[in-house]
Amino acid sequence: MHEMSLAEGIRTIVEEAAQAEGFGKVNAVVLEVGELAAVELESLRFCFEVVMQGTLAEGAALTVERVAGVGWCMSCGESVPIKALYDPCPKCGSYQVQPTDGTQMRVKALDVDGAVERAE
C-alpha cells in the first residue's frame, strides 16, 4: 500500500474543505480506518507529517478511529468477526468469507480553527 499517496489524498481533501469552508487552521484530522484496510498506520503518520508541511494542517494531530473487521461467511450464512483479510472463518474454517466492514479508509472529520467568518 502506498502511504505517501494516501497522505497526499488526505491533503487534497483538507485543501478542498478549506477552500469551501474558509477555515484558517487544522488542529487535527480524524480518520476512520478499518482493521482490514491495507495501510501501515506508522508509515501513514510519517507521510502525513511530511506532506502537511507548509499547509494549514502543518503540525496537525492525526487521530485514527479503527473499525473492526467483519465478514460474511457463505458456509455459516452469518456475519463473523475477522482479524485479517483472507483469513478463514473463525467458526467453520471456510475461506469463503466476504469482507463486509473494516476495509474503509476515510477522512471523517477535521478539527479546525473557524477564525474566518463566512458570509451567509
Q: Contact residues for another protein (CB under 8 A)?
A: 1-6, 9-10, 12-13, 16-17, 19-21, 23-25, 27-28, 31, 38, 40-43, 45-47, 50, 61-64, 85-86, 95-96, 104-115, 117-118, 120
Amino acid at residue number 91: K
Burial track 42-59 (b if 16+ CB lie within 10 A, e otherwise): eebeebbeebbeeeebee
Annotate each residue in 72-111 with x if it binds Zn ion (CB under 5 A) or - if it does not, as one string: -x-xx------------x-xx-x-----------------
Residue 48 belongs to what H/E stretch? Answer: helix 41-51
Residue 89: name its binding partner from another protein, Zn ion, none (Cβ under 5 to 8 Å by kind).
Zn ion
**Least distance to another protein from the beta carbon of 17, Å?**
6
Give backbone dihedrals phi and psi of 7, rounded to 5 degrees, phi first: -60, -40
* Cβ atoms of residues 6 and 95 within 8 Å: no
**Least distance to another protein from the beta carbon of 79, Å?**
19
Residue 105: name its binding partner from Zn ion, another protein, none (Cβ under 5 to 8 Å by kind).
another protein
Cβ distance to another protein smaller for residue 68 or 114: 114
Q: Give the total residue count for the chain.
A: 120
Position 67 contacts Zn ion (CB under 5 A)? no
Rounded distance between C-alpha atoms, residue 90 and residue 87, angstroms: 8
**Least distance to another protein from the beta carbon of 93, Å?**
12
Q: Which three cell numbers stand for residue 62?
A: 492525526
